[in-house]
């Protein structure tokens, strides 16, 4: 659909390595520019097992590969040296999305990689702080409902106005705090629905918006001067 106007990075994470490989091959066949994967979400907390998973995906295609890093995807006592040494063995490894609040570790990864890897932060709550710690970009869920705030944050930081970037982060975090009251995914879907962007309900097993939750969102967003209608 984008017709080559922007790069397309496709996430191929799955509960099994075999499924992730199939998805990576499919991504290649559809013209994706790169693939990314989390470790199997129900797998043991074992970095070596995660490396085996990542390596198999990296070998499956010639596409650039991004590791989608969550603390639950590998050892929680990770060091930058161990992380980079292990992933250096993964074919086509070019970068990582770091979905963790440990910005010290993120900064160590940026520093130790010498700028050779594309370093992306994940948690929306610390997007501005991630920029200060050396991120090349960010991927987040709430960018779908408040893109302007994050664009302002990025542009302010790029122009050297750290104070304005942090002010934008404070605005974003007020909305995030509200979303946490009703469930982030539930709340995001409801706001998109209010904006006439139909994305459906959450899947079975996830909480669905209640009338009380819907009213909480409307009142809260109104207090933040955040358009919801």
What is the enclosing helix (H) or strand (E) of 29?
helix 17-29
Helices and strands, number each (H, E), in the chain: 9, 6
Q: What is the pLDDT of residue 223?
A: 73
C-alpha distance from residue 225 to each of 32, 123, 156, 187, 216 (Å): 38, 23, 21, 17, 14
Q: What is the pLDDT of residue 79?
A: 83
In a domain, 31, yes or no: yes
Q: What is the pLDDT of residue 179?
A: 93
Q: What is the pLDDT of residue 225?
A: 65
Token pair belonging to 78: 């990770």
Q: Which of 198, 195, 199 is nearest to 218 (CA)?
A: 195
Q: Return per-residue pLDDT of the chain as tens, 229 residues.
A: 667 788 999 999 998 999 999 999 999 999 999 999 998 877 667 788 889 999 999 999 999 999 998 875 444 567 889 889 999 999 999 999 999 999 999 999 999 999 999 999 999 999 999 999 999 999 999 999 999 999 999 999 999 999 999 999 999 999 999 999 999 999 999 989 888 898 998 888 888 889 999 899 888 877 776 654 3
Please give the backbone phi and psi of residue 65, each rounded to the nearest 5 degrees, phi first: -120, 130
What's the total number of domains in the chain? Answer: 1
99 within 8 A of 70, measured Cβ to Cβ: yes
Q: Which of 60, 59, 57 is nearest to 73 (CA)?
A: 57
In a domain, 125, yes or no: yes
Q: What is the pLDDT of residue 228?
A: 44
Q: What is the pLDDT of residue 73?
A: 47
Q: What is the pLDDT of residue 220?
A: 84
In a domain, 52, yes or no: yes
In a domain, 224, yes or no: no
Relative to beta strand 9-11, strand 65-69 is unpaired
- Domain span at residue 39 reads 9-140
In a domain, 188, yes or no: no
d(CA 163, CA 170): 11
Q: What is the pLDDT of residue 158?
A: 97
Bridge partners (DSSP) of residue 65 are 35, 93
Q: What is the pLDDT of residue 48?
A: 85
In a domain, 185, yes or no: no
In a domain, 45, yes or no: yes
What CATH number corresponds to the domain at position 92?
Answer: 3.20.20.70
For every residue of 162-208, DSSP letters joined together read HHHHHHHHHHHHHHHHHHHHH-HHHHHHHHHHHTT----PPPTTS--
Alpha-carbon torsion 92, 98, 104, 110, what sign?
A: positive
Task: Give the pTM.
Answer: 0.88
Burial 8-31 (b: 16+ CB within 10 A, else e): ebbbbbbeebeebbebbbebbeee
In a domain, 43, yes or no: yes
Q: What is the pLDDT of residue 18?
A: 96
* Alpha helices in 93-183, H assignment, sequence order: 103-112, 127-132, 147-158, 162-182
Q: What is the pLDDT of residue 47?
A: 82
């Amino acid at each position: 659909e984008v017709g080559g106007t922007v790069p397309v990075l496709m996430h191929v994470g799955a509960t099994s390595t075999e499924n992730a490989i199939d998805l990576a091959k499919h991504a290649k066949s559809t013209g994706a520019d790169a693939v990314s994967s989390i470790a199997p979400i129900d797998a043991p907390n074992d970095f070596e097992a995660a490396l085996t998973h990542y390596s198999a995906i990296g070998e499956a295609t010639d596409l650039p590969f991004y590791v989608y890093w969550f603390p639950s995807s590998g050892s929680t006592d990770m060091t930058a040296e161990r992380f980079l040494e292990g992933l250096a063995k993964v074919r086509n490894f070019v970068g990582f999305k770091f979905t963790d609040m440990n910005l010290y570790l993120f900064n160590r990864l940026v520093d130790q990689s010498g700028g050779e890897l594309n370093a992306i932060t994940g948690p929306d709550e610390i997007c501005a702080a991630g920029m200060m710690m050396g991120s090349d970009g960010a991927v987040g869920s709430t960018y779908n409902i408040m893109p302007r705030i994050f664009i302002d944050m990025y542009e302010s930081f790029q122009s050297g106005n750290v104070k304005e970037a942090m002010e934008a982060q404070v605005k974003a975090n007020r909305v995030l705090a509200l979303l946490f009251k009703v469930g982030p995914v539930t709340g995001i879907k409801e706001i998109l629905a209010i904006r006439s962007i139909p994305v459906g309900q959450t899947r079975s097993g996830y909480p669905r918006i209640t009338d009380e939750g819907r009213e909480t969102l409307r009142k809260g967003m109104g207090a933040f001067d955040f358009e919801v209608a």
